[in-house]
Chain A
Amino acid sequence: MDEKIKEEASKDNYRQEPKVGVYICHCGGNISDVVDVKKVAEELSKYPGVTVAREYPFMCSSNGQDLITEDIKNLGINRTVVAACSPSLHDLTFRGVLQRAGVNPYLHEHVNIREQDSWVHKLDHAGATAKAIKLAQAGVEKVRRKDPLNAIRVAAEQRVAVIGGGVSGMRAALSAAGKGLEAVILEKGPRLGGKLLDLGRLYPSGEEASAVVKKLEDLVRADKKITVHTDADIDFVGGFVGNFKINFKLPGGKSQQVKAGAIVMATGYEHYKPYKGEFGYGEAANVLTLPEFISLMKKLPAGRLEYGGREIKSLALIHCVGSRQVEGVHKPQADGKINDYCSRVCCTAAINTANQIKEKYPGVRIYDVYRDIRTYGMMHESYYEQASKNGVLFFRHTETDQPVVTSDRTGHNVKVKDVLTWGEELEFKADLVVLVTGLVPSDISLIKSQMKMPSSADRFLQEVHLKLRPVELANAGIFIAGAAQYPMDSTEAMASAGTAASKAGILLAEPDIPLEPFVAVVDEKKCTGCGLCPAECSYDGALTMSEKNGKKVAVVNPALCKGCGACVAVCEPRAIDVAGWTLAQFDAMVEAIAKE
């Protein structure tokens, strides 16, 4: 075991004779309307090893909790079974009761007689009561065989490594530093600022992108807790929560390492690059992508819109290039898949740009060819309305009838089968075609493969749960900031970066990180060293084969193990157990339930 990982000091009463207290909760009628709770308590009080069995309207209330505390004090109860709601609701509540009363908190068993009994057997009161008795008895058998466990504590580096120095990375580093943590930004490019360096006036604030970058960069540079490495070429990421190591090369080939307790992935996105010939891109002159057009317009003076020495009097914006692609209609990407996701930000970006063109070059005719307009953000609809009022002419096509651009020396001819004009094929001339390209994830395949980070179907990094754990990766201690997760605009990216930094701050609030002790434990005497289990393990480095006392055995890294039990299932000599969920406990439970 790593010297950094240790068990908490044991609060030990496991050598005492098990005295089990069983507590049946009414859940205010949710349970007691169906289950005869008095009968359950009565039956359980007669069960071997049970010292006391009680029922109460709300066990989770402070009065209910006090009931348990009193029994621990007066009757010497040292193990508890609470038959109530789902353990996901109140397992931690009752573990807390035990801990406060001086009993090891893992000597508690939570039995679910609501979701798994009263709610699903509403019409069969007698049957439900019998089932509750069996479940509670199985709980007693399990808790009697429980060993006291102690949370695993991992000493953590008080430092956050932020990969990516765009606005999300800078925002995340600033937030982490604000919480007193050290932050290290690793940026692969020569400058901080990322994609915003090439953008123009941003929606919805109307600020220049360069001004936003400057503001953030000034703050980052002034913060003593933040270290910035630009031109950093990462070649290795490893370790686990609290103890990550990142190796990177600086110009000149100098290698460096950052140790960090948490990693924030602020690796951003790339603009979709149209293939050669996509709407004439790369073949005909005067076909640009929106980001290319934006950086062009930044440099041009007002009055005359010019490209390639020619005045641009009319311009076509074609939406959804590289986004919302359709199987059979669009050419697949390099990995054989299409980009069927919506890139979200391009509609507003395109329309924001159209309005800026109308402002700077009022005479330019703008044709906007779209499938759906999705100006989804707060007040973004007003950009769309303004564009209409500015005389931007919109055309809508279906997913299968893509617009067609043909080009010659005089310019482009765009054909659209326009849904708004009852399916009529409309045709117009445009001096310039601007492809409103989508967003694709940046190439972080090296880091992703080394850390086994999960990807979504769209190839972006995937969070654990979009609503409940929106910035966390399944890899403990790694968080996502900004458009590395999915296409987002700078406003959303910075909000997400703040959240990621907060999560990292909570994780590193104490010098060591407590982890649940429900991890695989190998009985080295029984282990035959067959080597089947590491192949089953989904968590890289959690289970390895290694030499111990001249014998090949399976070794578990408790900081990486998730306690899934996949290794237990393949171990023929039953040499592996998940702590708190041992095979012996399950055997006893099955027996208790099956007993006549």
Chain B
Amino acid sequence: MKVNPELIDEIKKYGAFDISACFNCGNCTAVCPLSKEDASFPRKLIRAGHVGMEEKITSAIEPWHCYYCGECSQTCPREAQPGEYMMALRRYLIAKYDITGLSKIFYKTGWLQTWLTAGLFAAVLWLYNGYTGDFGALAGKIEMAFPVYVTIAIAGYLLNMYRHAIVKPLGGIKASLKPAHIIETFLHGFTQKNFNGCEETDLVRWGSHLLVMSGYTLTLVISNFHMLEPLDRQYSAFSPVSLLVWYAGFAIIAGGGVMTLRRLFKSAESSKFTHPSDWLFVVMLFLIGLSTVTTLGLNVLHGPADPLLAKVYRVNIAIETVWILLVVPFTKWIHIFFRPLAVYFQHVRKEAEAGTAFSL
């Protein structure tokens, strides 16, 4: 294999600035509670990065098994921050699997995405404010367009990941059709239960993560099915839709709030290094929760004709628009799909090895 020393320089642009200090002792892998014999990390991936084994990195599913408990970074005798390296790999892989190439630019240029987001938000809000027709109906159309856009974006990613992690290394289209494996994949997707595989369970992190996840998924359902029509009807505080919105909004606010505080005070190993994209992610989430809850609150209190509500709802839809257009497809948001898929791909690989995988 030809050594390519440029790869590590490339990965370093996604974080992990200290990784060159690594001297391959393997303490990180030994201490990692999630590293398994058949999916061993971080040492091997660090070495693969150092010598430039690009295919080994792009086909790796291990970065998605890592939940960044930070024990490796605390144990590392050279302070090479292996945990942060795994984080950088996830960013690198997102950029790699992105067909548009935009994530790569966003990750590498730091605050560009934030400024673009802010600019796009201002522009969209200006458009929405200037719209003289029935905004409620327009919002309905916009929200119904989200799933189409998101599906296309995600599909591109997932196909790319599948191509790199399964098709290329296994030499063909392979799948696992065992129901147990499929169920486990979904279970991981909804609970991210491997979080608790970390030795010192960080319940606050897992809890806030679960709150945000469930709140956000619910928001997705509410908005993508245009369930909330605040300009067209009056909601009571305890109507079924209201209850869903309350939960979704407050879960995001509470979970996102905790995450923000932890990043601000760098209280855990996992929140020591913050990439600009991480900030954009949590702040946007927080704003989505806040604007959704405020929208419903104004509707419940003052009715659908409230002039303030009209403004807040436009802000709410503008934030969602920007989120869907710029944040969802090009930041770590996508990892919620990669993590369970990595669990699934692990099964596929094992089955392929045993010769029981479905293949085309």
Q: Are A421 and B51 in touch, CB under 8 angstroms?
A: yes
Give the nearest-CB partner of B46 in chain A.
Answer: A420
A329 sits at the interface (CB 8 A):
no
Measured between alpha carbons, how far is A428 from B47 in the docked complex, in Å?
A: 15
Give the shortest distance, in Å, between B348 (CB) and chain A (any CB). 23
Measured between alpha carbons, how far is A426 from B51 in the docked complex, in Å?
A: 8
Give the shortest distance, in Å, between B47 (CB) and chain A (any CB). 5
Interface stretch, picked from B16-24, B104-112, B256-264, B301-309, is: B16-24
A15 sits at the interface (CB 8 A):
no
Contacts of A384 in B (CB 8 A): 23
Q: Are B3 and A428 in touch, CB under 8 angstroms?
A: yes
Contact of B21 among A365, A389, A424, A426 (CB under 8 A): A389
Q: Are A388 and B22 in touch, CB under 8 angstroms?
A: yes
A394 sits at the interface (CB 8 A):
yes
Which range contains the number of B residues in contact with the other chain? 10 to 19
Which range contains the number of A residues in contact with the other chain? 10 to 19
Contacts of B21 in A (CB 8 A): 385, 388-389
Q: Are A391 and B2 in touch, CB under 8 angstroms?
A: no
Q: Are B47 and A420 in touch, CB under 8 angstroms?
A: yes
Q: Which residues from 415 to 451 on chain A have a C-beta closer than 8 Å to any C-beta of chain B?
A: 418, 420-422, 424-428
Q: Are A421 and B48 in touch, CB under 8 angstroms?
A: yes
Measured between alpha carbons, how far is A424 from B3 in the docked complex, in Å?
A: 11
Q: Are B23 and A426 in touch, CB under 8 angstroms?
A: no
Measured between alpha carbons, how far is A367 from B5 in the docked complex, in Å?
A: 10
Q: Are A426 and B20 in touch, CB under 8 angstroms?
A: no
Q: Are B1 and A425 in touch, CB under 8 angstroms?
A: yes
Contact of B3 among A388, A389, A390, A426 (CB under 8 A): A426
Contacts of A388 in B (CB 8 A): 20-23, 78
Give the nearest-CB partner of B22 in chain A.
Answer: A388
A393 sits at the interface (CB 8 A):
yes
Q: Are A428 and B2 in touch, CB under 8 angstroms?
A: yes
Q: Which residues from 16 to 48 on chain B have a C-beta closer than 8 Å to any C-beta of chain A?
A: 18, 20-24, 44, 47-48
B314 sits at the interface (CB 8 A):
no
In the complex, per-residue mask of A372-413: 1 if CB is within 8 Å of any chain B CB, else 0: 000000000000110011110110000000000000000000
Give the shortest distance, in Å, between B48 (CB) and chain A (any CB). 7
In the complex, per-residue mask of A351-383: 1 if CB is within 8 Å of any chain B CB, else 0: 000000000000001010000000000000000
Give the shortest distance, in Å, between A480 (CB) and chain B (any CB). 36
Q: Are B24 and A426 in touch, CB under 8 angstroms?
A: no
Give the shortest distance, in Å, between A317 (CB) and chain B (any CB). 14
Contacts of A421 in B (CB 8 A): 47-48, 51, 53
Give the shortest distance, in Å, between B231 (CB) and chain A (any CB). 59
B91 sits at the interface (CB 8 A):
no
Give the nearest-CB partner of B78 in chain A.
Answer: A385
Q: Are B1 and A393 in touch, CB under 8 angstroms?
A: no
Q: Are B50 and A426 in touch, CB under 8 angstroms?
A: no
> A420-B47, A421-B48, A421-B51 given as contacts; is B5 within 8 A of A393 (CB)?
yes
Measured between alpha carbons, how far is A355 from B18 in the docked complex, in Å?
A: 17
Give the nearest-CB partner of B4 in chain A.
Answer: A428
Give the nearest-CB partner of B77 in chain A.
Answer: A385
Q: Are B51 and A393 in touch, CB under 8 angstroms?
A: yes
Give the nearest-CB partner of B18 in chain A.
Answer: A389
Measured between alpha carbons, how far is A343 from B24 in the docked complex, in Å?
A: 24
Contacts of A391 in B (CB 8 A): 5, 8, 20
> A388-B23, A393-B51 given as contacts; is B1 within 8 A of A426 (CB)?
yes
Contact of B2 among A365, A390, A427 (CB under 8 A): A427
Given A385-B78, A426-B1, A428-B3, 10 other A-B residues pairs in contact with their CB atoms under 8 A: A365-B5, A388-B20, A388-B23, A393-B3, A418-B51, A421-B53, A425-B1, A426-B3, A427-B2, A428-B2
For the complex of A and B, 6 pairs with smallest distance between CB atoms: A428-B3, A420-B24, A389-B21, A388-B21, A391-B20, A426-B3
Q: Footprint of A on B, CB under 8 Å?
A: 1-3, 5, 8, 18, 20-24, 44, 47-48, 50-51, 53, 78
Could you name 13 residue pairs across A and B whose Cβ atoms are closer than 8 Å?
A: A385-B23, A388-B22, A389-B20, A389-B21, A391-B5, A393-B50, A394-B23, A421-B51, A425-B1, A426-B1, A426-B51, A427-B3, A428-B5
